[in-house]
Structure formats: structure tokens, C-alpha cells
């Protein structure tokens, strides 16, 4: 999308959306069906597993893993891994809810 940046050695799965002004630094892996919303910032070596959603303006420090189906709320600051199907919000991000089966 416009003004987005995807840096070298990043792998992106099928059906993934990297929205306007999002930055995905080097050596990240974005799995299938991931949505990275407007203005999100992913430092290096981030793993975003299948079906996860990164909210607008969220920031991830390097070497963080976002589990399958997890949701990182808008503006959240990730400093640790997020287990599958967990919703996290805030600065620093903390668990908010567990997602149910789709």
C-alpha cells in the first residue's frame, strides 16, 4: 500500500495485507492471511503467524512472535511474544481477551 516499507529478507505469505504507511523491517516473516494495519511498525526478525491482526499504529520490538489468530490492538507496544488467539492492548501490551474458535 502507499508509503509502506518492506525491507530485505522479509517473507510474506499469501493473502496478507500490509496497509498504508506500515513498516516491516528486515528478516520478518508474515504468514498467510495476516493483516498489518495502517502505520504499524515491525522491527527486525518479527514472526507474525497465520491469521493474526496488527492494529493501526502498533509497534513491535525485534524478535517478537505474534501467534496464530492473535490480535494486537491499535497503538499497542509489543515487548514480548503473543500466544495464539490472544488479544493484547496498551503500552506495554497486556492480555485483554482470548479469541474463540472461528
Which residues are catalytic, by number?
Answer: 26
- Among candidates 18, 29, 37, which has minimal Cα distance to 68? 29
CA distance 59 to 80: 11
Burial of residue 74, with CB atoms counted within 10 A of its CB: 0-12 exposed, 13-18 middle, 19 or more buried: middle
Amino acid at each position: 500500500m502507499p508509503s509502506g516499507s518492506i525491507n530485505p529478507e522479509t517473507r510474506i505469505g499469501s493473502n496478507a495485507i500490509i496497509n498504508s504507511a506500515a513498516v516491516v523491517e528486515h528478516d520478518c516473516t508474515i504468514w498467510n492471511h495476516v493483516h498489518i494495519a495502517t502505520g504499524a511498525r515491525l522491527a527486525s526478525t518479527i514472526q507474525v503467524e497465520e491469521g493474526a491482526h496488527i492494529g493501526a499504529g502498533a509497534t513491535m520490538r525485534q524478535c517478537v512472535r505474534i501467534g496464530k489468530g492473535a490480535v494486537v490492538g491499535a497503538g499497542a507496544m509489543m515487548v514480548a511474544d503473543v500466544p495464539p488467539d490472544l488479544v493484547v492492548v496498551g503500552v506495554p501490551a497486556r492480555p485483554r481477551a482470548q479469541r474463540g474458535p472461528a
